A and B are shown apart, each in its own frame.
Chain A
Amino acid sequence: MPVKSNNGTFANKFARAGYNTIVKRNSIFLTTIFVSAFAAEMVFDSVSDRIWDNINKGRQWKDISAKYTTE
């Protein structure tokens, strides 16, 4: 148990709840790690893609392709 002292503060309660739901069972702990890594990568990629597209607005093919597709 990492949280020994039970001083009843919010942070303490939060840490205790987190420990009990995530860390206690190894299966849940591992699943949490894998799922959160996957989710973090998705979020990081989509955010940095959006920043990239914003920096290069009007320069990339996807910005000008509409002019040449006449279907």
Chain B
Amino acid sequence: MFRLSALSTRQAVQRLAVQARHQSTISTAAASSMTAKNVSMAATGVATVGAIAYMSMETVDANMAADGLHPPVYPWDHKKNLATFDHAAIRRGYQVYKEVCAACHSLDRIAWRNLIGVSHTEAEVKAMAEEFEYTDGPNDVGDMFQRPGKPSDYMPKPYANEEQARAGNAGAYPPDLSLMIKARHGGADYVFSLLTGYQDPPAGVEIREGLNFNPYFPGGAIGMARVLYDGLVEYEDGTPATTSQMAKDVTIFLSWAAEPEMDERKKMGMKALTMLALLTGLSVYLKRHKWAGLKTRKILYNPPAPKKH
């Protein structure tokens, strides 16, 4: 079947080429119907070859236990084409990160100063940074010294290195969360589903001591236990701190951390598309303007009367 369709494709293409060469010698109506026939034949051939190749190469893998349950697609506001992040949610999400996640997870690529003008004022950020001690130096006698944090410092790490983190978490390494939304399949949907998806293992599934069952985590057994419970934090803006509210807020905060430029990018995109649309309109108008005279022109050729001998 493969060979047959390849053959018909080749024949159709060859015929097309021949057609092109003799176009001027064939009457127009017949030529156009022939061309359409050949093109459709060629297209059929290409489609058949493509379908066979697809069927023979595609392997469907639906091993939910090994790959994790696919998260549902949630209607995140900030994923709309013209929507910024909800900055009130970023602020709440930062609070959840700081009070809950930061006990185990680092946020290496975010500095205190990144929060200024995004979720906190400069004065707030300075006060928050000062609560942490940073090692600086060397001073003029070569010693390192401790000083309070500044907005230019990066977020403090819960553990000094990976070994310490593993030792403190029964061998499991809490990953850095800076780019987590970009680093996992499903992105924000996955993180939200993971945080809210803890449940008892189904019958027949054995979970080792110290691990927890979560269907969204590839393999199903995750080192992290469920951390978000209703009323765990107290939001300053009065939002009820339900599990899903906290999971949503911290997911939006991490989406911002992974893509802090999103607001500006979408705004530039809107401006660029508007400008390009205007320019497209202008060039279409100009083309029609310049061609109008040519397209409405009729050129007549009056052959000279044959010479009489």
Which A residues contact B (CB, under 8 angstroms)? Answer: 44-45, 48-49, 51-52, 55-56, 59-61, 63-65, 67-69
The segment from B83-91, B198-206, B209-217 found at the interface with A is B83-91
Closest Cβ of chain A: how far from B122's Cβ, in Å? 10
The DSSP consensus for interface residues of chain A is: helix
The docked-state distance in angstroms from the alpha carbon of A45 to that of B86 is 23
Q: Tally of A-B residue pairs with Cβ under 8 A?
A: 42
Residues in chain A near residue B124, CB distance under 8 A: 68
Q: Chain B contacts of A60 at CB under 8 A?
A: 84, 87, 263
B31-39, B128-136, B219-227, B267-275 - the one binding chain A = B267-275
A64 to B118, CA, bound (A): 10
Q: Which residues of A contact B51 (CB under 8 A)?
A: none
Given A55-B83, A67-B237, are A61 and B267 also a contact pair (CB < 8 Å)? no
Partner of B87, one of A49, A52, A61: A61
The answer for the CA separation of A56 and B86 in the assembled complex, in Å, is 9
Name the A residues within 8 Å of B86 (CB-CB): 59
Closest to A56 in B: B84
B267 CB, min distance to chain A CBs, angstroms: 5
Contact between chains at A44 and B87 (CB < 8 Å): no
Residue pair B83, A59 in contact (C-beta under 8 Å)? yes
Assembled-state Cα–Cα distance A59/B237 (Å): 14
CB <8 Å contact, B267 and A44? no
Alpha-carbon separation in the docked complex, A52 to B267 (Å): 7
Question: B144 at interface (Cβ–Cβ under 8 A)?
Answer: no
The answer to whether B87 and A45 have CB atoms under 8 Å apart is no
B271 and A44 form a contact (CB under 8 A): yes
Q: Are B271 and A45 in contact (CB under 8 A)?
A: yes
In contact, B267 and A64 (Cβ under 8 angstroms) = no
Q: B270 to A56, Cβ gap below 8 A?
A: no
Interface residues of B in 51-99 (CB under 8 A from A): 77, 82-88, 91
* Interface contact B120-A68, CB-CB below 8 Å: yes
B121 is an interface residue with CB less than 8 A from chain A: yes
Q: Quick check: A65 and B83 within 8 Å, CB to CB?
A: no
A52→B80 CA distance, assembly (Å) = 13
Report A-chain residues with C-beta under 8 Å of the C-beta of B118: 61
Closest A residue to B80 using CB positions? A55
**Could you tell me if A52 and B85 are in contact, using CB atoms closer than 8 angstroms?**
no
Closest approach, in angstroms, between the C-beta of B185 and any C-beta of chain A? 27
- Quote the shortest CB–CB distance from B304 to chain A (angstroms): 36
Q: CA of A23 to CA of B85 in the docked complex: distance in angstroms? A: 48
Beyond A60-B87, A64-B88: 10 further Cβ-contacts under 8 Å? A48-B270, A51-B270, A52-B270, A55-B83, A59-B77, A59-B83, A64-B91, A65-B121, A68-B120, A68-B124
